[in-house]
Structure 1
């Protein structure tokens, strides 16, 4: 299979990123999902979840906690979901958690391959620190979802 930076077809790129992922969980071993029919209901302009069961039947949480990218992301989510204040201390803690997650993500073969592909398309800087800054902006900065941006045009 061609390396992501040489791929032109989005399917090839995604397959290569999937192949590079050494941290993925195994279905039926590490998690099981409960597929259900007709799980959403439109109420005006909002969509309501009307599923009768939880999406995940089980998840191996111990395995998640032992994989750095998952563990740092879970810590960040728990902080953001439980945050009730906007103090300076909370802002610093959020920055630290974001940095920890970005560091963990940047240290994976998937992110190395994604960076190589994006650099080959002229969509990302080749410097890892600048690429990390780009991820921070994409993932953690507020953006206007009504307007198209450069990141909508990756492939």
Structure 2
């Protein structure tokens, strides 16, 4: 390849996209092509675009007791009250993306090793959720960033890949299709006698309201004075313990999907440094390595805010 053509095609070679003449580019890992400053800049844009998030007064927490690092794994109940003292359900949960998220949360068996059967109705609910979040500026900001970097060539391609990486099924236990990135992160699972995943505040609130979650304590409260905030809690789901569960609290579903996907695509299996409202935060992502989709597509194994 002549030098002028090499430089003209460099963005395509880096990102593994198609060359202008239709040939496939080299599959060099994409995270080499996006700088930390670019990740921080687009994360701020996504944060600013999240108009569906909670505002002051929409959520009132009762954090109560803060455990030390040596107490995190004790599983003791230090809190006499619920975590969520108040949530403005009428305002927040009537928003289409929240409503579509809640439709999905009763579709999963929390026990690892139990096969998940995605019915046609449940697939329609997944598509309805995706359709709603794709109407938001949050997802639009992320899409145009990915488009500018050569990750995708159309919104339809991005949407299809997002569905596969988050909702595509794989096996965590017993060789059956029992899990997905969405189930693990947004719903939560039970594996090895403990809570696995579970990083969505809406589901945590719903289960606590139903009496299924017992809030024990907190170990981290981020520096944000508005929403979304990043917090880490200790709690039990029935009798199963989560000794360190980190969450965005007050964020919209589209924000969680967008920030996690940004980091999953640009910093897979690494700590991803983002900025939200002028303050630094970190996201940890993990790819599922035991199976893939399409031409080597990677499923989300997990993603969550890092809590010091």
TM-score by length of 2: 0.38
- In the TM superposition, residue 34 of structure 1 has moved relative to its aligned partner by 2.6
Q: Deviations for 1:15-50, whole angstroms, at most 9, x for unmatched residues?
A: 11111112111132x11223341287327xxxx584
Root-mean-square deviation (CA), in Å? 3.3
Kept in 1, the 8 Å contact 2:62–2:84? The answer is: yes
Residue 158 of structure 2 is aligned to residue 131 of structure 1: yes
Alignment correspondent of 1:31: 59
C-alpha distance in 2, partners of 1:55/1:132? 35
C-alpha distance in 1, partners of 2:54/2:103? 18
Alignment correspondent of 1:4: none
Residue 140 of structure 2 is aligned to residue 112 of structure 1: yes
1:153 equivalent among 249, 260, 267: 267
SS for the counterpart of 2:86 is strand
Alignment correspondent of 2:44: 15
Kept in 2, the 8 Å contact 1:79–1:94? The answer is: yes
Mark the runs of 5 or more structure 2 residues left unpaired by the alignment: 1-35, 173-180, 182-263, 273-308
Mark the runs of 5 or more structure 1 residues left unpaired by the alignment: 1-6
22 and 81 in structure 1: CA distance in 2 versus 1, 3 angstrom threshold: farther
130 and 99 in structure 1: CA distance in 2 versus 1, 3 angstrom threshold: same
C-alpha distance in 1, partners of 2:146/2:84? 33
Residue 124 of structure 2 is aligned to residue 93 of structure 1: no
51 and 114 in structure 1: CA distance in 2 versus 1, 3 angstrom threshold: farther
C-alpha distance in 1, partners of 2:266/2:43? 16
C-alpha distance in 1, partners of 2:83/2:43? 24
C-alpha distance in 1, partners of 2:143/2:76? 35
2:92 equivalent among 64, 70, 92: 64
- In the TM superposition, residue 129 of structure 1 has moved relative to its aligned partner by 1.3
TM-score by length of 1: 0.70
Higher relative CO (Cα under 8 Å, sequence separation at least 6) belongs to: 1
Larger Rg: 2
- In the TM superposition, residue 55 of structure 1 has moved relative to its aligned partner by 3.0
Kept in 1, the 8 Å contact 2:60–2:84? The answer is: yes
Q: Deviations for 1:26-83, whole angstroms, at most 9, x for unmatched residues?
A: 132x11223341287327xxxx58462433221111112321101000111133369x
The size of the alignment, in residue pairs, is 137
Task: Judging by fraction of residues, say which structure has more strand.
Answer: 2
